[in-house]
Structure 1
């Protein structure tokens, strides 16, 4: 039967104490050292030295054996559920290396389960976005188009005194139709499927610039290599959420959206604004950005920008290289994010 960490520590403490007692007994038996029934003053140093040696030996043994517990406690205190790969290094000589190994294995299982669950949730979210966007385009969009055509016919036959009012109604309906189409594009990035990531981000920046919010400048590199469909969708969604946060919360007047690729193959997305600075609390939007970044093993940081404002930076490693040791699978049991959307 293999020894447990508790039994191993028990036998080591028992052994070190037994050794000390054996050495003490041998010293009394063969050395000119005696201890009276009533301890004499000259015999007191012998007892004190023996006790000190025993306590020191036990302290050294316990400190060395229980040191992994301190590192384990520190890891539990700093552990972030959305930052994988943080593990303890287990030495083969410690009494608690079995505990450290089991704890690391537990983290592996939890991160794998969390990655699969997150992928399933995001798959369902993308599918629902596509369904709603399709209904907006096919149902509401077509109905508003029919209304516009009918209004145009009525305006042509209406008397002059009501024709102007009908034209105002016609413009209102046309604005509503444009807004419905804009919402549908945000829900389902059809341009991402049709024209690619570069065109999709360019269109996204143009949409936000035309909403009356901050002026968005873009610097999007073409010809990006090594990005799969999952990574492209994650980059697009994080850019979309970053610009949405700028528009809703930052109070910024200007923002910049950039997408570049380093010489080593890393793709870097940045959304920078000159607003009020990083958020003090993590909301659902930022939490969702972190979950998406985790699925492709990317590194997401949100912090202050140079000169004020907020900088959102996503670094996507080349295929086959990840920042975290265990980023989780890119595909859920039902397929990839794009397959299900």
Structure 2
């Protein structure tokens, strides 16, 4: 039954019931209307309105559920769908209009729109992230070639000048050397963050080891590593997603968690590889997810992975990224 005929039928049922009660009820209306008769008429009208409202609420309940889903849907959390009345499929196959009318058709259309939007969001996010990685490589290369080499040349000039300078000036030149050397180390650290060359050369485990060591050195936090000895081979894009999620998680821990200990685990769980970062900080609120966490969710979509963030105040935060292992190709 279509939505129009459903509402028409509900109203006809209420009006027909009221008409039947008026026909067979031993109630007369005087002119002018008596007070008792007015009470009966007003009470009957109230009963009609309540009955009509209850039946309409029941008839329009699927639209209410659809409205609530529209208000809460998040493309970074894929899979949110509304069940179609009448047992029809998610994409509208098999049920047709006869099973659920316009409401079912609207729900099927909305679910299909979510499918399309999630696909388009994943595609656009992939392009944006790939462009971002290309820009990071370019900036890292320029920092290494231009800034790094220029600061190295400055260090050499300062050394020659300090060797030939008198004693009062020599101490100041040595101080400038130390400042320049510290700046050069910072530039090299930025280059490693922008372009993890160890990830391309030595693999994910070595890259995460270097990342956590560098993080512990600069933050003073205790970092515990738990990496499985044998991990399956992953696509380069998937390894980069795991590395960037770990990097962003550690950065958020240093900035916001107020933690003293961080544990980074990488293990195989069935047909998936799980990256887990746990801290003992103050936790986060789910509604307070910022750009960093949403960026991690976008990266998870890029690798077809599932990102789960669990946290309660004063108990720390656990970030778990579960990425599927690619199936081995059979020889042709």
Same fold (TM over 0.5): yes
Contact 1:252–1:275 (8 Å) recurs in 2: yes
Residues 298-340 of structure 1 deviation map (CA, whole Å, 9 limit, x = unaligned): 22222337982222221223347xxxxxxxxxxxxxxxxxxxx
Residue in structure 2 matched with residue 276 of structure 1 by the alignment: 282
What is the CA–CA distance in structure 2 between the aligned matches of 1:115 and 1:130, rounded to whole Å? 22
Whole-angstrom distance in 2 between the partners of 1:14 and 1:200: 67
Q: CA RMSD in A?
A: 3.7
Unmatched segments (≥5 aa) in structure 2: 17-22, 30-47, 87-98, 328-332
Structure 1 residue 217: Cα displacement: 2.2
Aligned to 2:310: 303
Q: What per-residue deviation string (whole Å, max 9, x for no partner) do you get for residues 43-66 of structure 1?
A: xxxxxxxxxxx9999889856653
Give the match for residue 3 of structure 2.
9
In 2: Cα distance, 1:16 partner to 1:141 partner: 78
Q: 1:165 to 1:94 in 2, by over 3 A?
A: same
Q: Quote the residue 2:93 is aligned against.
A: none
Could you say which residue in structure 2 is the equivalent of 1:221?
Answer: 228
List per-residue Cα deviations over 1:11-51 (Å, max 9, x = no partner): 456678889999xxxxxxxxxx9999x79xxxxxxxxxxxx
Q: How many residue pairs are counted as aligned between the two chains?
A: 299
Specify the alignment match of 2:74 in structure 1.
Answer: 80
Taking the TM superposition and a 5 Å limit, the aligned residue runs for 1:83-232 are 83-92=77-86, 93-95=99-101, 96-232=103-239
Query: What SS is found at the alignment partner of 2:320?
Result: strand
Residues 6, 59 of structure 2: 8 Å contact kept: no
Q: 1:212 to 1:35 in 2, by over 3 A?
A: closer
Secondary structure in 2 aligned to 1:82?
coil
* 1:66 equivalenced with 2:60 (yes/no): yes
Q: Which residue of 2 aligns with 1:28?
A: none
Q: Is the Cα–Cα contact under 8 Å of residues 255 and 273 in structure 1 kept in the other structure? A: yes
> For 1:162 and 1:35, how far apart are their aligned partners in 2?
114
- For 1:250 and 1:16, the matched residues in 2 are separated by 57
Summarize deviations over 1:124-159 as a string: whole Å, max 9, x none. Answer: 211211111111100010011111222232333334
Separation of aligned partners in 1, 2:25 and 2:169: 121
- Structure 2 residue 286 is matched with structure 1 residue 292: no
Shift of 1:244: 0.8
Q: TM-score, normalised by structure 1?
A: 0.74
Secondary structure of 1:268's counterpart equals: strand
Which whole-Å CA distance do the structure 1 matches of 2:59 and 2:324 have between them?
39
CA contact (8 A) 1:304 1:311 kept: yes
Is the CA contact (8 Å cut-off) linking 1:273 and 1:305 kept in structure 2? no
Query: Partners in 2 of 1:98 and 1:186 — Cα distance?
Result: 50
TM-score, structure 2 length as denominator? 0.76
**Is the CA contact 1:278–1:302 (under 8 Å) kept in the aligned structure 2?**
no
